[in-house]
Amino acid sequence: MKKIAVFASGSGSNFQAIAVAAQAGILSAEISLLVCDKPGAFAVDRADMLGIPVLVISPKSYPSKAAYEEEILQKLISLDVEMIVLAGYMRLIGPTLLEAYEGKIVNIHPSLLPAFPGKDAIGQALAAGIETTGVTIHYVDEGMDTGPIIASASVRVEAGETRESLQKKIQRIEHSLYPEVLEKLLNGEGEVLQWERSVH
Ligand code: GRF
Protein backbone atom coordinates (compact mmCIF):
# COMPACT_ATOMS: atom_id res chain seq x y z
CA MET A 1 0.00 0.00 0.00
CA LYS A 2 1.44 3.37 -1.02
CA LYS A 3 1.89 5.89 1.76
CA ILE A 4 0.62 9.43 1.46
CA ALA A 5 1.11 12.52 3.62
CA VAL A 6 -1.55 15.22 3.47
CA PHE A 7 -0.58 18.84 4.19
CA ALA A 8 -3.31 21.19 5.47
CA SER A 9 -3.48 24.56 7.24
CA GLY A 10 -7.17 24.97 7.96
CA SER A 11 -10.44 23.10 8.26
CA GLY A 12 -9.17 19.90 6.66
CA SER A 13 -12.40 18.77 5.00
CA ASN A 14 -10.46 17.53 1.97
CA PHE A 15 -8.00 15.76 4.22
CA GLN A 16 -10.93 14.02 5.90
CA ALA A 17 -12.50 13.01 2.58
CA ILE A 18 -9.20 11.48 1.47
CA ALA A 19 -8.61 9.73 4.79
CA VAL A 20 -12.14 8.31 4.89
CA ALA A 21 -11.78 7.05 1.30
CA ALA A 22 -8.51 5.35 2.27
CA GLN A 23 -10.00 3.81 5.40
CA ALA A 24 -12.97 2.56 3.37
CA GLY A 25 -10.68 0.98 0.77
CA ILE A 26 -11.96 3.23 -2.04
CA LEU A 27 -8.52 4.79 -2.18
CA SER A 28 -5.81 2.16 -2.08
CA ALA A 29 -3.33 4.11 0.01
CA GLU A 30 -2.41 4.60 3.61
CA ILE A 31 -2.67 8.13 4.94
CA SER A 32 0.43 7.99 7.11
CA LEU A 33 0.56 11.56 8.30
CA LEU A 34 -1.14 14.93 8.42
CA VAL A 35 1.35 17.79 8.29
CA CYS A 36 -0.16 20.99 9.68
CA ASP A 37 1.65 24.32 9.89
CA LYS A 38 -1.08 25.99 11.99
CA PRO A 39 -1.34 24.81 15.59
CA GLY A 40 -5.04 24.77 16.50
CA ALA A 41 -6.29 24.17 12.95
CA PHE A 42 -9.43 22.01 12.81
CA ALA A 43 -7.61 19.61 10.48
CA VAL A 44 -5.67 18.43 13.54
CA ASP A 45 -8.90 17.57 15.40
CA ARG A 46 -10.08 15.64 12.36
CA ALA A 47 -6.82 13.66 12.29
CA ASP A 48 -7.20 12.83 15.97
CA MET A 49 -10.77 11.62 15.36
CA LEU A 50 -9.60 9.49 12.42
CA GLY A 51 -6.60 8.10 14.32
CA ILE A 52 -4.08 9.53 11.85
CA PRO A 53 -0.69 10.72 13.15
CA VAL A 54 -0.08 14.45 12.96
CA LEU A 55 3.03 16.57 12.63
CA VAL A 56 2.14 20.07 13.82
CA ILE A 57 5.05 22.23 12.83
CA SER A 58 5.37 25.99 12.88
CA PRO A 59 7.74 27.64 10.37
CA LYS A 60 8.37 30.41 12.90
CA SER A 61 10.31 27.95 15.04
CA TYR A 62 12.93 27.45 12.30
CA PRO A 63 15.69 29.78 11.10
CA SER A 64 14.77 29.27 7.43
CA LYS A 65 12.22 27.70 5.13
CA ALA A 66 14.84 25.12 4.17
CA ALA A 67 15.32 24.11 7.83
CA TYR A 68 11.54 23.91 8.33
CA GLU A 69 11.09 21.74 5.26
CA GLU A 70 14.10 19.59 6.13
CA GLU A 71 12.42 18.68 9.42
CA ILE A 72 9.25 17.70 7.55
CA LEU A 73 11.29 15.78 4.98
CA GLN A 74 13.04 13.69 7.64
CA LYS A 75 9.66 12.75 9.09
CA LEU A 76 8.29 11.80 5.65
CA ILE A 77 11.36 9.69 4.91
CA SER A 78 11.11 7.92 8.28
CA LEU A 79 7.51 6.94 7.40
CA ASP A 80 8.33 5.88 3.80
CA VAL A 81 5.91 8.48 2.44
CA GLU A 82 5.82 8.34 -1.37
CA MET A 83 3.43 11.11 -2.24
CA ILE A 84 2.49 14.53 -0.82
CA VAL A 85 -1.09 15.74 -1.16
CA LEU A 86 -1.72 19.42 -0.49
CA ALA A 87 -5.23 20.15 0.75
CA GLY A 88 -5.59 23.76 1.81
CA TYR A 89 -1.90 24.11 2.73
CA MET A 90 -1.41 27.87 2.65
CA ARG A 91 2.29 27.95 1.85
CA LEU A 92 4.45 27.60 -1.25
CA ILE A 93 6.49 24.40 -1.32
CA GLY A 94 10.22 25.17 -1.38
CA PRO A 95 13.14 23.48 -3.14
CA THR A 96 13.85 21.10 -0.23
CA LEU A 97 10.57 19.23 -0.61
CA LEU A 98 10.19 19.85 -4.36
CA GLU A 99 13.51 18.18 -5.12
CA ALA A 100 12.93 15.25 -2.78
CA TYR A 101 9.39 14.62 -4.10
CA GLU A 102 9.74 15.71 -7.72
CA GLY A 103 6.56 14.92 -9.64
CA LYS A 104 4.99 13.47 -6.51
CA ILE A 105 3.30 16.52 -5.01
CA VAL A 106 -0.27 17.42 -5.97
CA ASN A 107 -2.60 20.25 -5.00
CA ILE A 108 -6.29 21.07 -5.28
CA HIS A 109 -7.39 24.61 -6.08
CA PRO A 110 -10.94 26.02 -6.09
CA SER A 111 -10.97 27.53 -9.59
CA LEU A 112 -10.43 26.45 -13.17
CA LEU A 113 -6.71 27.18 -13.40
CA PRO A 114 -5.03 29.16 -14.82
CA ALA A 115 -7.91 31.48 -13.86
CA PHE A 116 -7.84 32.88 -10.32
CA PRO A 117 -4.67 31.43 -8.79
CA GLY A 118 -3.61 32.32 -5.26
CA LYS A 119 -5.74 33.32 -2.32
CA ASP A 120 -9.54 33.57 -2.29
CA ALA A 121 -10.14 32.00 -5.69
CA ILE A 122 -13.89 31.78 -4.95
CA GLY A 123 -14.10 35.49 -4.09
CA GLN A 124 -12.09 36.32 -7.20
CA ALA A 125 -14.48 34.30 -9.39
CA LEU A 126 -17.54 36.00 -7.89
CA ALA A 127 -16.01 39.44 -8.28
CA ALA A 128 -15.23 38.70 -11.94
CA GLY A 129 -18.90 37.89 -12.58
CA ILE A 130 -18.16 34.76 -14.61
CA GLU A 131 -20.74 32.02 -15.18
CA THR A 132 -18.48 29.02 -14.73
CA THR A 133 -15.75 28.30 -12.24
CA GLY A 134 -14.62 25.00 -10.76
CA VAL A 135 -11.91 22.89 -9.21
CA THR A 136 -8.46 21.95 -10.50
CA ILE A 137 -6.09 19.24 -9.35
CA HIS A 138 -2.52 19.79 -10.51
CA TYR A 139 1.08 18.83 -9.93
CA VAL A 140 3.00 21.27 -7.77
CA ASP A 141 5.99 23.24 -9.01
CA GLU A 142 7.72 26.28 -7.52
CA GLY A 143 4.98 28.69 -8.63
CA MET A 144 1.65 29.62 -7.09
CA ASP A 145 -0.91 27.14 -8.50
CA THR A 146 1.05 26.81 -11.74
CA GLY A 147 2.02 23.13 -12.17
CA PRO A 148 0.69 20.80 -14.91
CA ILE A 149 -3.05 20.20 -14.66
CA ILE A 150 -4.22 16.65 -13.93
CA ALA A 151 -7.99 17.04 -13.69
CA SER A 152 -10.66 19.69 -13.44
CA ALA A 153 -14.38 19.92 -12.82
CA SER A 154 -16.52 22.91 -13.68
CA VAL A 155 -19.21 24.45 -11.51
CA ARG A 156 -21.90 26.86 -12.69
CA VAL A 157 -22.22 30.15 -10.88
CA GLU A 158 -25.99 30.62 -10.62
CA ALA A 159 -27.76 33.98 -10.44
CA GLY A 160 -27.83 35.11 -6.81
CA GLU A 161 -24.99 32.78 -5.88
CA THR A 162 -23.35 33.71 -2.58
CA ARG A 163 -19.87 33.02 -1.46
CA GLU A 164 -21.18 30.39 0.96
CA SER A 165 -23.35 28.61 -1.60
CA LEU A 166 -20.56 28.55 -4.19
CA GLN A 167 -18.01 27.33 -1.68
CA LYS A 168 -20.39 24.54 -0.65
CA LYS A 169 -20.80 23.36 -4.26
CA ILE A 170 -17.07 23.53 -4.90
CA GLN A 171 -16.20 21.63 -1.74
CA ARG A 172 -18.74 18.90 -2.47
CA ILE A 173 -16.99 18.30 -5.79
CA GLU A 174 -13.54 18.48 -4.23
CA HIS A 175 -14.41 15.79 -1.70
CA SER A 176 -15.30 13.25 -4.38
CA LEU A 177 -12.86 14.35 -7.10
CA TYR A 178 -9.69 14.37 -4.99
CA PRO A 179 -9.83 10.74 -3.75
CA GLU A 180 -10.87 9.57 -7.23
CA VAL A 181 -7.97 11.34 -8.94
CA LEU A 182 -5.48 10.16 -6.30
CA GLU A 183 -6.58 6.57 -6.87
CA LYS A 184 -5.92 6.96 -10.60
CA LEU A 185 -2.53 8.54 -9.97
CA LEU A 186 -1.54 5.73 -7.64
CA ASN A 187 -2.55 3.24 -10.32
CA GLY A 188 -0.17 4.92 -12.75
CA GLU A 189 -2.88 6.60 -14.78
CA GLY A 190 -1.47 10.10 -14.28
CA GLU A 191 -0.44 10.58 -17.89
CA VAL A 192 -3.90 9.97 -19.30
CA LEU A 193 -5.65 11.99 -16.67
CA GLN A 194 -6.29 15.19 -18.54
CA TRP A 195 -10.00 14.93 -18.01
CA GLU A 196 -12.78 17.31 -17.30
CA ARG A 197 -16.14 17.01 -15.71
CA SER A 198 -19.10 19.33 -15.46
CA VAL A 199 -21.28 19.59 -12.40
CA HIS A 200 -24.39 21.74 -12.24
C1 GRF B 1 -10.15 23.89 -0.60
O2 GRF B 1 -11.22 24.59 -1.16
C3 GRF B 1 -9.01 23.77 -1.56
O4 GRF B 1 -9.41 23.82 -2.89
C5 GRF B 1 -8.16 24.97 -1.24
O6 GRF B 1 -8.30 25.16 0.13
C7 GRF B 1 -9.54 24.64 0.57
C8 GRF B 1 -9.27 23.76 1.74
O9 GRF B 1 -10.44 23.38 2.40
N10 GRF B 1 -6.80 24.75 -1.66
P11 GRF B 1 -10.37 22.26 3.54
O12 GRF B 1 -9.35 22.72 4.56
O13 GRF B 1 -9.97 20.97 2.88
O14 GRF B 1 -11.75 22.21 4.12
For ligand 1, mutation pick of 144, 174, 178, 181 (most atoms within 8 Å of CB): 174
- Annotated catalytic residues are 109
**From atom 5 of ligand 1, which residue's Cα is the shortest distance away?**
88
Residue 110, pLDDT above cutoff 90: yes
Q: Is 44 in the pocket of ligand 1 (CB under 6 A)?
A: no
Residue ranges of the chain that CATH labels 3.40.50.170: 1-102, 108-200
Average pLDDT, the chain: 95
Shortest CA distance to 4 belongs to which of 158, 185, 152, 173? 185
For residues 148-168, average pLDDT:
95
DSSP secondary structure code for residue 194 in this structure? -
CATH numeric code, 108-200 = 3.40.50.170
Strand order from edge to edge, sheet including 195-199: 54-56, 29-36, 2-8, 83-86, 105-109, 132-139, 149-156, 195-199
Q: CATH classification of 1-102, choosing from 3.40.50.170, 3.40.50.150, 3.10.450.50, 3.30.70.20?
A: 3.40.50.170
What are the pLDDT digits (tens) for 37-82? Answer: 999 999 999 999 999 999 999 999 999 999 999 999 999 999 999 9
138 C-beta closer than 6 A to ligand 1: no
